[in-house]
Amino acid sequence: MATKVHMEALSPTMEEGQLVSWLKGEGDDVAEGDILAEIETDKATMELVARGAGVLRAVLLAEGETAEVGAVIGVIAAADEDISAIVDGAGAPGAGAAADAPAAEPGEQQASAVAPKDPGPTDAGAEASGVEETAVAPAGSGDGRLRASPLARRLAEERGLDLASISGSGPGGRIVKRDVEGAVAAPAGAPVVVGAGARAETESVKVSQMRKAIAKRLVQSIGPIPTFYLTIEADVGRLLEARKRINARLESRGEKVSLNDLILKATAVALRRHPEVNASWQGDTIVRYGRVHVGVAVAVQDGLITPVIRDADVKGVADIGREVREMAGRAREKKLAPDEYQGATFSVSNLGMFGIQEFTAIINPPESGILAIGAVEEKPAVVDGEVVVRPRMRVTMSCDHRVVDGAMGARFLATLRDFLEDPVMMAL
């Protein structure tokens, strides 16, 4: 019986997926459980796994193209089985070909998409497996295919290299990580860098699924949400001293905390003190959350993502820092699971490390607010009647006015400022 390969929802917000690469080609034998393709969702790159066995008879979506969730993007069947009805129903190969395809029929087998089994945190692990292999089809290759590991393909893309110009040293001529790294280290002028030395031209860049999701969410935020902004300036001298003392204690463990880790902790405790801010608008109700989950804006190649530090108000600052760095690293590799970047009750965005003095951030619905953290600057300040230079930092809160009123937001920020200016206050 033929098996339709569907584009499946791999995250709660996924409406369509982009086919990164087929790992099987038309005519290849397919066993149940084989990885058929890599799919880019709105937040991560996932793998499409076959449930049925047979031959991949038809590929209905080309690499780089997108299809709506539920669309048929391929067909697995016996070598001599008539699949014309399925192919005709799915339409001609190409973008949107499967978008109008019928849903799976009773008794029909389907392919499913699942998260990567664990590609491994290290490059070495990915290279050593030798199992996952990506096929691309450069012009002029002998059998129409050029073999490359997913890691090699990803590295080549990041470095602007054309895989077709790289010689593979892996089994069967497969291009692996060391080949890409060797190409990067090649002398200037070597024919491996695309456009090296060429004049820059205007180009249209196809947006990723993540960028589409970000754009959609932002339109939902700044438009429908009545937003206003509140700004405070805090003297963070004691906060910097606290970080210094904490890091001295952590030195033997080889760990450090950042100023942002302390800000996240202060924000979480302030939210615990002000549950009316740790809330969201839900149409005819306002939900006040019993737990404090802080989203941390992390810049990634295609935009940004907000890993969630759950129960941040009861965690130690070292634990928060460790968790932030671990998830931020996986976010940049698109390895976060949906439950790791969804479910925040409030968010923090920090551009201080880029020298931004002050900015406003856009609320991530359905949260009621987000903090925009600016850079620490040495400024003159009046202390006990004298002008002294102090490290000061500006914090701007974007507020959903349906949930947070001006006075309510001001009280929350006053508590936060107390914590930033005197971290001991968090213990009271």
Q: Are 73 and 41 a contacting pair, CB within 8 Å? A: no
Annotated active-site residue in 6, 274, 293, 401: 401
- Residue 107: strand pairing partners: none
Q: d(Cα 353, Cα 332) in Å, to the nearest integer?
A: 18
As given in the structure block, the two tokens for residue 398 are: 């974007």
Gap between the terminal Cα atoms of the chain: 67
Per-residue DSSP letters for 62-85? -TT-EEETT-EEEEEE-TT---HH
Sign of CA dihedral 377, 380, 381, 384: positive
DSSP 354: G
DSSP 380-425: EEEETTEEEEEEEEEEEEEEETTT--HHHHHHHHHHHHHHHH-GGG
Token digits for 34? 């084989």
CA distance 299 to 361: 14
Closest by CA position to 338, among listed 289, 305, 371, 294: 305
Does the active-site annotation cover 274? no
Task: Say which residues have a Cβ less than 8 Å from residue 233's Cβ, sequence separation at least 6.
Answer: 392, 393, 394, 395
CB 250: neighbour CB atoms within 10 A?
15
Contacts of 422 (CB under 8 A, 6+ apart): 238
3-class secondary structure, 320: helix
Q: Which helix H or strand E contains 265, and what residues bound it?
A: helix 259-273
Cβ proximity of 379 and 390 under 8 Å: yes
DSSP calls for 96-159: TTTTTPPPPPTT-EEEEEE--S---SSHHHHHHH----EEE--TT-TTS-EEE-HHHHHHHHHT
Rg (CA), the chain: 26
Asked if 307 contacts 327 with a C-beta cutoff of 8 angstroms, the reply is yes
Which positions are annotated as active-site residues?
401
